[in-house]
Amino acid sequence: MYPKPILSLSTCQIRHYCDEDIDSLSRAANNPQIAKWMRNTFPSPYTTEDARKWISELASPYDFVICTPDGSTLMGGVGLKKRSDIHHRTMEIGYWVGEEHWGKGIASEVVKAFAEWAFAEYDSLLRLEGEVFEGNAGSCRVLEKAGFKLEGKHEMAVEKDGVIAANNTAPEVFVLTSRLLRLNPEYYTVWNDRRRLLICGSLSAPSAGSSPSRALPTSSPTDTTTLSSAVSSSSSSTTTQPYQDLQKTGSSGTTVDDGIKTREDTIRSELAFTIPLLMEFPKCYWIWNYRLWVLGKAVELLDRVVSRGIWTEELGLVGKMLTRDRRNFHAWGYRRHVVAQLESAALSPDGKSPESLVVSEFEYTSKMIRVDLSNFSAWHNRSKLIPRLLDERQADDVARRKFLEDELNLVREALNVGPEDQSLWYYHQFLMLNLFDAVDSSAIAPNLNVSERVAYVTRELDDIKDLLEDYEDIKWLYEALLEYTVALAKLESRSLSEHETEQLRGWLVKLQQLDRTRRGRWAYMRSELGLS
């Protein structure tokens, strides 16, 4: 038994939902041509379970079936949604009709009659609104025939399937972002606006879909048409449409292209746009951040082979940047990120087995160190690569010991040339910590016994003392001697000898003279070591 209709029209009836509507609802609503004009909460595909959930849980007393004149077969839906707060006397109308019933005037008859019924049924109702996508011309005509009038268009208010309906002045806004960023790339808000405009256009991506929930069966709005029983206030919004026109770079800067570029063209164009900015402002965080975002879009939107090609080109570019500014901290961090992406499964040549670049990157640090021994970033990157390099080589104890000796020899030779260089001492300290600290998976030679470790430390201490004879006014030598002597005693599980204590006392006096800014630190260390 079907519910009694609230309206009987020439083409259909309007009544409440019932369990008998489940099958016909799932059949009629399961159509992407309907879903594209609906809100994101309208499921697509529309399953029998979705229909059952709508009828049993989600539909409200304001939701109705559009059915055949005999009341037996669902053809669509129509409903009302109450506004709240100061708009509590306003309702929104929503409707849809199955594709097989299009072009028969059903929607026009339903909306007109249902609107009249709503005003008669609800005494407090002052205003009835309908919202449709700007591109849904048929639905706009239905509302106009029913007496609705166009009051305005919402601006930057809607995201449907991952695409944002954007201002139709977006091309001009995009050009403006280019001009502003050339003046000052520190305007991070402008970078965000640029992202938003691209996401609205050719860098948009479909969403993973939405799940059914309580909502009116209408589209998310870009246009808003309204009907009221009293004087209505006009909307202040303006027409919106998805931004599609993208920029192209040239000698005169960024301009609006006549056509819609492909995603690859857009990504390459944006990467090209940032290059002059990076050359002029190589340490501006926001440029690097935006460039990574664009490259991330390449992974998200492009074919794996094409995307890998773009990321490989990026590795070449950052190499050129580091040739210009070898110690640029941002560029080194950026390089590590690019390498990590190229090594990821998402960009692997076969889509399955990630390709390791650790050997080539380790060789790159060697190259950069040979050019400039003071390149702290190169030494730092080298220290991060070593554990992976040894693991991938499956190095045994002999190979690991040989590697440690080679690295100690490398930094020792560098210290002989530039003992005043803090970068070299930091790397030397990293190597020495492999001898002092407890064995872990990242140690270069984890299986060295205590006597072997002591031998390495003693040799390094002797070499530093030799350097001290020629460079007695460099504080780094005293810091290293102080740290390594104390660590050696701990390594051998013994107390400091009297001779070592006298040496430490003398080195601390010298440090207080050479490093007056940290005199308090050295005085505290003297106290901690019991040398007062």
CATH number at residue 70: 3.40.630.30
Evaluate whether residue 317 is within a structural domain.
no
Structure confidence at residue 310 (pLDDT): 94
Which of 232 and 359 is assigned the larger pLDDT?
359
Q: Which of 123, 119, 3, 117 is nearest to 67 (CA)?
A: 3
Report the DSSP beta bridge partners of residue 74. Answer: 67
Q: Write out pLDDT tens, residues 32-67.
A: 999 988 988 899 999 999 999 999 999 999 999 999
Which residues, 6+ apart, have CB-to-CB distance to 282 below 8 Å?
321, 324, 325, 328, 330, 331
Tell whether 314 is covered by a domain: no
Provide the pLDDT for residue 354: 79
| Assigned domain for 506 exists | no
165 belongs to a structural domain: yes
Q: Report the range of poorest mean pLDDT among 68-72, 295-299, 348-352, 489-493.
A: 348-352
CA distance 261 to 243: 12
Q: Would you say residue 238 lies in a domain?
A: no
Tell me if 178 is assigned to some domain.
yes
pLDDT at site 240: 25
Q: Is residue 199 part of a domain?
A: yes
Number of structural domains (the chain) is 1
Structural domain of residue 74, as residue ranges?
7-228
Residue by residue, DSSP assigns 89-123 as: TEEEEEEEE-GGGTTSSHHHHHHHHHHHHHHHH-T
* Separation between Cα atoms, residue 532 and residue 524, nearest integer Å: 10
CA dist list (Å): 156 to 14, 40, 137, 197, 210: 35, 16, 20, 10, 21
The confidence score (pLDDT) of residue 164 equals 63
Model confidence, pTM: 0.59
What residues contact residue 270 under an 8 Å CB cut-off, 6+ apart? Answer: 198, 294
Residue 171 maps to a domain: yes
Mean pLDDT of 444-455: 93
Residue % of the chain over a pLDDT of 70: 86
- CA distance from start to end of the chain: 100
Lowest mean pLDDT among 10-19, 127-136, 230-239, 441-450: 230-239
The pLDDT value recorded for residue 154 is: 78
- DSSP letters for 157-191: -EEETTEEE-BTTHHHHHHHHHHHHHH-TT-HHHH
pLDDT of residue 438: 60
Whole-angstrom distance, CA of residue 79 vs CA of residue 93: 6
H/E run at residue 435: helix 422-436
Contact by Cβ (8 Å): 471, 419: yes
> Buried b / exposed e across 326-362, counting CB within 10 Å, b at 16+?
bebebbbebbbebbebbbeeebeeeeeeeeebbeebb
**What percent of the chain clears pLDDT 90, i.e. is strictly above it?**
67
**What pLDDT does residue 239 have?**
27
- Residue 65's SS3 state is strand
Which of 103-112, 121-130, 137-146 comes out lowest in average pLDDT?
137-146
